[in-house]
């Protein structure tokens, strides 16, 4: 187990020499919270959307990644469309997301959106705490199509617990500091940008995280030329809506991840939604594994989602899969349907 622990840490977090792995956390249910990937999503709905998620990756592997985040975003001003009245309650037997609803879909009115993200990610001896604020502008470009552009700024605090590292030579210069508690902290500014094109039938987005691309070392003795580097992460997403019947929608989507010098990452997802009540689906991450997902809109203010990832790489010899729980709160949602209008 010690060999596995050292090997996984070396692969994922060898910042002091060179980075050959994705430095940002993985998520499975990003299709339910695209804001965690793309700042341009901020304020896309007509209410404030708060999400809390906890992800335990590679269960059974010691010191495997554990990621927790909270996001919140919403518009600076609300529009009157779709507001629920005493005569338009969530009626049994009717689909508030049927064809009639989408026939009346219109572009977004020009407006600003704001959001905030807080992430805690722990992998072995390395802990990353991140906080950022996002601003986005939404506007219509056709009768049923809208575009948003977003920016976010924040910081990453990276803490390395050197006591959890075992070296043949004490005070190895790769990770060495003269501090007494062996907790080595580095604070780095962070910036992201994104574009989101959305309509009633499709969405396309592209985002870049870690735009500042800075050098990073956990040693007080290494020269700057020997430091590792935080590299940008590029995410491209797209999805479409297909009506299977008046009550059922089929929602396939794809994500491409580009992190130099890794090969291009590909995620394929498929989601089936019944009315605006519940959904289920699955996904495939190229050369990594499969996932199953399920979720329910409990009311117009609360929804939950759960996913399980089955690893197909060599890690499946020690991993029992990955669990991810997502809870959503729709703050100020006074409308006749229970799920997002523009994020599906």
Ranges 156-170, 227-241, 277-291, most confident? 277-291
- The CATH number of the domain covering residues in 2-331: 2.40.160.40
Backbone phi, then psi, for 138, in 5-degree steps? -110, 140
- Could you tell me the pLDDT band of residue 63, with boundaries at 50, 70 and 90? confident
Q: What is the per-residue pLDDT for 1?
A: 38
The model's pLDDT over 171-205, given as tens digits with 9 standing for 90+, comes to 665 665 555 567 788 899 999 999 999 999 999 99
Q: What is the pLDDT of residue 341?
A: 82
For the record, the structure tokens of 329 come out as 């709160």
Structural domain boundaries of the chain?
Answer: 2-331
């Amino acid at each position: 187990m010690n060999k596995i622990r050292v090997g996984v840490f070396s692969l994922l977090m060898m910042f002091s020499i060179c980075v050959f792995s994705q430095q940002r956390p993985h998520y499975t249910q990003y299709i339910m919270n695209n804001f965690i990937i793309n700042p341009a999503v901020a304020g896309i709905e007509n209410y404030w959307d708060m999400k809390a998620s906890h992800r335990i990756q590679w269960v059974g592997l010691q010191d495997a990644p554990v990621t927790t985040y909270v996001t919140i975003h919403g518009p600076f001003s609300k529009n009157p469309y779709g507001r629920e009245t005493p005569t338009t309650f969530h009626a049994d037997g009717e689909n508030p997301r049927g064809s009639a609803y989408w026939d009346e879909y219109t572009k977004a009115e020009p407006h600003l959106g704001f959001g905030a993200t807080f992430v805690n990610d722990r992998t072995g001896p390395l802990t990353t705490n991140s906080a950022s604020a996002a601003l986005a502008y939404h506007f219509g470009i056709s009768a049923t199509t809208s575009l948003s552009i977003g920016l976010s700024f924040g910081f990453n605090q990276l803490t390395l617990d050197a006591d959890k590292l075992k070296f043949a030579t004490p005070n190895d210069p790769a990770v060495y500091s003269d501090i007494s508690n062996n907790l080595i902290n580095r604070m780095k500014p962070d910036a992201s940008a994104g574009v989101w094109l959305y309509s009633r039938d499709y969405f396309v987005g592209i985002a870049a995280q870690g735009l500042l691309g800075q050098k990073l070392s956990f040693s007080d003795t290494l020269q700057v030329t020997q430091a590792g580097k935080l590299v940008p992460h590029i995410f491209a997403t797209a999805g479409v809506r297909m009506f299977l019947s008046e009550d059922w929608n089929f929602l396939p989507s794809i994500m491409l991840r580009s992190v130099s010098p890794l090969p291009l990452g590909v995620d394929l997802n498929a989601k089936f939604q019944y009315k605006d009540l519940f959904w289920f689906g699955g996904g495939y991450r190229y050369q990594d594994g499969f996932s199953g997902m399920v979720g329910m809109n409990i009311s117009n203010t609360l929804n939950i989602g759960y996913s399980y990832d089955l690893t197909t790489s060599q890690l499946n010899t020690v991993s029992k899969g990955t669990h991810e729980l997502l809870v959503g709160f729709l703050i100020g949602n006074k409308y006749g349907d229970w799920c997002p209008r523009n994020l599906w």
